[in-house]
Amino acid sequence: MTAMGLVHDATVPVPVRTGRSRVRRVVGAIPIGIFGLYVVAAVLGPLFVDYSPVGGDLADRLLAPGSVTSDGGTAVFGTDALGRDLFGQVLYGARTSVLIGTLVVLFSGLVGITVGTVAGYRGGTTDLLASRVIDVLLAFPGILLAIVIAGVFDRSLAIVVIALSVTNWIGFARLSRSMAMTLRERDWVKSATVMGVRRGRIIARHILPFIAGPTLALATIEFAGAILAEAALSFLGLGLPSASVSWGQTIASGKEYLASAWWIAAIPGTALAVLVICVGFTGDRLTRHFGRQQ
């Protein structure tokens, strides 16, 4: 029994708490914390800060960050060319970004996981068909396809979500397809098949739970991608209707004032970059976490 005990010890990693690893853990948690702050700001911020995209006082135009506006308030992030408060734009823009990112990830994740899992589990012609569609779509640059779709239709939230999901689901489909293909060969799936468990139930109980973790890791990365792509569309004037607030639109409106009023483009740009970087780090961490589990 001692031999078995040794083998057992070797397979279970014993966490060693050194000073360095604690520092690393704290540093590693920072991006997740910042990401969390963005989400909180996006959800709660608009409840406390009033901002209207049609408001703004022309007397307050192009104020530098920290200036006092004509109504006595402080414009922490300054104002834009129409006198609109940038802090409000960043906050409302965060809400737009988080909303669009979430919708795109939910929508494309649902489609991608369904297609990928069914293709990987069933194999044969179903898989061949799905793989070809994926290959063809992979050949298109995603943002170009989104621009075409968003350009053809009227500007609306639904069109932006669809335009970004058209290529975004492929990542989910490829991941879940390859995982379903390996899981299908596992004995517990085979024994369920032999017992006569129905296909839908096998997928739900024996395959999907094992795909969930890595998919969550991928979802964060796709979330960052979707936010970036939405900003790009809005920058090009193809995103949301101009009555809504989006970082892309704000950056675009600051384009002509880069030399005189840098903050209009720089502040939402920084907000966007920091969010995407932090989501990326969070995704990497999740990927590593689920990779270790496998």
Residues of this chain that interact with another protein (CB under 8 A) are: 128, 132, 186-188, 190-198, 201, 205-206, 209-210
Nearest CB to another protein, comparing residues 214 and 268: 214
Question: DSSP class of residue 82?
Answer: T
Amino acid at 264: I
The tokens describing 8, both together, are 């057992």
Backbone φ and ψ for 75, nearest 5 degrees, come out as -90, 95
**Cβ at position 50, least distance to another protein in Å:** 48
| Residues 208, 131: Cα–Cα separation, whole Å | 19
**Cβ at position 210, least distance to another protein in Å:** 8
3-state secondary structure of 98: helix
Nearest CB to another protein, comparing residues 24 and 201: 201
**Cβ at position 117, least distance to another protein in Å:** 16
**Cβ at position 187, least distance to another protein in Å:** 4
**Cβ at position 140, least distance to another protein in Å:** 19
Contact 263, 214 (CB under 8 A): no
Residues with Cβ within 8 Å of 251's Cβ and at least 6 positions away in sequence, in order, are 231, 235, 264, 265, 268, 269, 272
Nearest CB to another protein, comparing residues 210 and 290: 210
Nearest CB to another protein, comparing residues 72 and 124: 124
**Cβ at position 222, least distance to another protein in Å:** 25
Question: DSSP class of residue 79?
Answer: B
**Cβ at position 92, least distance to another protein in Å:** 42
Residue with tokens 């740009």: 269
| Residues 54, 244: Cα–Cα separation, whole Å | 10
Nearest CB to another protein, comparing residues 210 and 262: 210
Question: DSSP class of residue 154?
Answer: P
Nearest CB to another protein, comparing residues 15 and 196: 196
Backbone φ and ψ for 210, nearest 5 degrees, come out as -85, -15
Q: Where are the alpha helices (DSSP H) in the chain?
A: 2-11, 19-48, 86-122, 124-139, 142-152, 157-184, 187-195, 199-202, 208-235, 247-253, 263-293
**Cβ at position 173, least distance to another protein in Å:** 17
Nearest CB to another protein, comparing residues 141 and 209: 209
Nearest CB to another protein, comparing residues 190 and 289: 190
Closest CA to 278 of 20, 28, 23: 28
